[in-house]
Amino acid sequence: MLQSLKTRGFQVKAIEKFGHDPRYPVTSNWPNLVQQLADFSSEQVEKSGQAAFLVGHSLGGFLSLMCAARHPSLGGQAVRGVVMIDSPILGGWRATALSVAKRAQLVGSISPGAISRKRRHEWLSRDEVLAHFRSKKAFARWDGQVLRDYIEHGTHDAAGQRLLSFDRDIETAIYNTLPDNLERLIKQHPLKCPVTFIGGRQSAEMNQVGMTMTEKVTRGRIMMLDGSHLFPMEKPLATAAAIEAALLNLSA
């Protein structure tokens, strides 16, 4: 997907892993992760001299929105726009319920963290990693090259084993500190750039969260592709084309 965007003429810069830099620890509502994105983006903008769009999937989409709200200018340049990829904005009673669950320390039993904290994270070889993920329903729908890239770059060799590179404890911490303040944040820091949402028609996350806040924030700039929450991994080239269309529209 990223390579396709590069061939379409876009410069793509990305943080390898959120939450793993001790300068930006994971805390409730992710303020440090937002700052990590702001610092990284400011540095990239200063190097290139060009204003940036913030584009992200799931976690990345939320952080992009929060970063644009809190930091409308990065590296001396105004943020040009935000593209959220299947990152439906939580608001209303659902956000209140999440806040209560976090304070009552119940969120760990209802968030995806209940799965990630037990996620398998070590294998004997790349082939074993491939066999493991191919057996999973969600991963079975992934584009073959994406799955191979995931194994190549999302795992690494250590002590004769192949280990998952994204620490599952950090992943769990991210899930368990999901932001419940997005609606309040946007009211306090009104967005100064346009926002587009690209969603998956079969996304369970969209059904769980609803689209009321997303429709309000995007002002109707919504595109849908066939696929689950992980549709960028299922249809990377179609996703790249949709991102290109979104960016061209935001640039008009």
Give the pLDDT of residue 96. Answer: 82
pLDDT at 32: 98
User: Phi and psi for 93 in degrees, rounded to 5?
Assistant: -65, -30
Q: What would the two tokens of residue 183 be?
A: 């609606």
The whole-model pTM stands at 0.93
Cβ distance 63 to 34 under 8 Å? yes
Q: Please give the Cα distance from 90 to 100 (Å, whole number).
A: 14
Indicate the pLDDT class of residue 118, thresholds 50, 70 and 90: confident
The predicted-structure confidence for 41-92, as pLDDT tens digits, reads as follows 999 999 999 999 999 999 999 999 999 999 999 999 999 999 999 999 998 8
Lowest mean pLDDT among 43-57, 110-124, 180-194, 215-229: 110-124
pLDDT at 110 over 70: no
- Rounded Cα–Cα distance for residues 222 and 214 (Å): 9
Domains and CATH numbers, the chain: 2-91+180-251 (3.40.50.1820), 120-167 (no CATH)
- Do 79 and 72 form a contact (C-beta atoms < 8 A)? yes
Q: What are the pLDDT digits (tens) for 198-217?
A: 999 999 999 989 999 999 99
